[in-house]
Amino acid sequence: MNDLLERLRTGLPAEALISDPDIMASYAKDSAGFCDAGAPAAVVLPRTTEQVQHVMRTATALRVPVVPQGARTGLSGGANAVEGCIVLSLTKMDRILEISTVDRIAVVEPGVVNAVLSRAAADQGLYYPPDPSSWETCTIGGNIGTAAGGLCCVKYGVTAEYVLGLEVVLADGRLLTTGRRTAKGVAGYDLTRLFVGSEGSLGVVVKAVLALKPAPPRQLALAAEFSSAAAACDAICRIMERGHTPSLLELMDRTTIRAVNAMAQMGLPETTEALLLAAFDTPDPAADLAAVGELCAAAGATEIVPADDEAESELLLQARRLSLTALETVKSATMIDDVCVPRSKLGAMIEGTAVIAEKHDLTIGVCAHAGDGNTHPVVCFDHDDPDESRRARESFDEIMALGLELGGTITGEHGVGVLKKEWLGRELGPVGVEMQRGVKQAFDPLGLLNPGKLF
Ligand X SMILES: Cc1cc2nc3c(=O)[nH]c(=O)nc-3n(C[C@H](O)[C@H](O)[C@H](O)COP(=O)(O)OP(=O)(O)OC[C@H]3O[C@@H](n4cnc5c(N)ncnc54)[C@H](O)[C@@H]3O)c2cc1C
Q: Does 205 bind ligand X (CB under 6 A)?
A: yes
DSSP SS3 for 213? strand
- Selected from 66, 295, 450, 452, the binder of ligand X by CB under 6 A is 450
Q: Does 452 bind ligand X (CB under 6 A)?
A: no
Q: Does 199 bind ligand X (CB under 6 A)?
A: yes
Q: What is the closest distance, in whole angstroms, from the C-beta atom of residue 163 to ligand X in the complex?
A: 12
- Selected from 413, 419, 423, 440, the binder of ligand X by CB under 6 A is 413
Q: DSSP letters along 66-131, please?
A: EEEESSS--SSSTT---TTPEEEE-TT---EEEEETTTTEEEE-TT-BHHHHHHHHHHTTEE----
User: Applying CB under 6 A, which part among 36-44, 126-134, 346-354, 436-444 lies near ligand X?
Assistant: 126-134
Strands 175-179, 163-169: pairing kind:
antiparallel
- Selected from 146, 219, 247, 395, the binder of ligand X by CB under 6 A is 146
Q: What is the closest distance, in whole angstroms, from the C-beta atom of residue 184 to ligand X in the complex?
A: 25
CB atoms within 10 A of CB 427: 17
Strands 363-369, 248-253: pairing kind:
antiparallel
**213 with 129: CB under 8 angstroms?**
yes
Tell me how far apart the alpha carbons of residues 143 and 73 are, in angstroms, rounded to a whole number: 10
Q: What is the closest distance, in whole angstroms, from the C-beta atom of residue 139 to ligand X in the complex?
A: 4
Tell me how far apart the alpha carbons of residues 242 and 234 are, in angstroms, rounded to a whole number: 12
Residue 75 burial (C-beta neighbours within 10 Å; 0-12, 13-18, 19+): buried
- Selected from 105, 138, 277, 406, the binder of ligand X by CB under 6 A is 138
H or E element, residue 368: strand 363-369
Q: Does 72 bind ligand X (CB under 6 A)?
A: yes
User: Applying CB under 6 A, which part among 128-136, 226-234, 296-304, 427-435 lies near ligand X?
Assistant: 128-136
Binding pattern to ligand X, positions 10-49, x when CB under 6 A? --------------------xx------------------
Give the start-end residues of each E strand in 244-318.
248-253, 274-280, 303-306
Q: What is the closest distance, in whole angstroms, from the C-beta atom of residue 149 to ligand X in the complex?
A: 4
Tell me how far apart the alpha carbons of residues 379 and 99 are, in angstroms, rounded to a whole number: 41
Binding pattern to ligand X, positions 371-410, x when CB under 6 A? ----------------------------------------
Q: Does 87 bind ligand X (CB under 6 A)?
A: no
Smallest Cα–Cα separation from 135: which of 92, 80, 73, 220? 73
Nearer of residues 112 and 399 to ligand X, judged by Cβ: 112
Radius of gyration of the CA atoms of the chain, in A:
22
Q: Does 70 bind ligand X (CB under 6 A)?
A: yes
Q: What is the closest distance, in whole angstroms, from the C-beta atom of residue 447 to ligand X in the complex?
A: 15
Q: Which residues pair with 223 in a beta bridge?
A: 277, 305
Q: Does 282 bind ligand X (CB under 6 A)?
A: no
Q: Does 248 bind ligand X (CB under 6 A)?
A: no
Q: What is the closest distance, in whole angstroms, from the C-beta atom of residue 284 to ligand X in the complex?
A: 28
H or E element, residue 374: strand 374-381
Q: What is the closest distance, in whole angstroms, from the C-beta atom of residue 454 to ligand X in the complex?
A: 9
Q: Does 133 bind ligand X (CB under 6 A)?
A: yes
Q: Does 200 bind ligand X (CB under 6 A)?
A: yes
Q: Does 145 bind ligand X (CB under 6 A)?
A: yes
- Selected from 244, 414, 420, 440, the binder of ligand X by CB under 6 A is 414
Nearer of residues 117 and 296 to ligand X, judged by Cβ: 117
Nearer of residues 47 and 391 to ligand X, judged by Cβ: 47
- Selected from 28, 66, 75, 307, the binder of ligand X by CB under 6 A is 75
Nearer of residues 154 and 276 to ligand X, judged by Cβ: 154
Q: DSSP letters along 421-434, please?
A: HHHHHHHHHHHHHH
Q: Which residues pair with 380 in a beta bridge?
A: 334, 363
Smallest Cα–Cα separation from 205: which of 116, 143, 132, 114? 143
Q: DSSP letters along 19-40, please?
A: --HHHHHTTS--S-SS------
Nearer of residues 263 and 305 to ligand X, judged by Cβ: 263
**82 with 29: CB under 8 angstroms?**
no
Binding pattern to ligand X, positions 302-341, x when CB under 6 A? ----------------------xx----------------
Tell me how far apart the alpha carbons of residues 199 and 79 are, in angstroms, rounded to a whole number: 8
Nearer of residues 263 and 297 to ligand X, judged by Cβ: 263
Q: Does 65 bind ligand X (CB under 6 A)?
A: no
Q: Using the CB atoms, write b or e for 127-138: b if 16+ within 10 Å.
A: bbbbbbbbbeeb
Q: At what angle do helices 310-321 and 254-264 cross, to 10 degrees?
A: 110
Question: Which residues contact ligand X (rule: CB under 6 A)?
Answer: 30-31, 67-75, 78-79, 90, 110, 132-134, 138-139, 141-143, 145-146, 148-150, 199-200, 204-205, 324-325, 413-414, 450
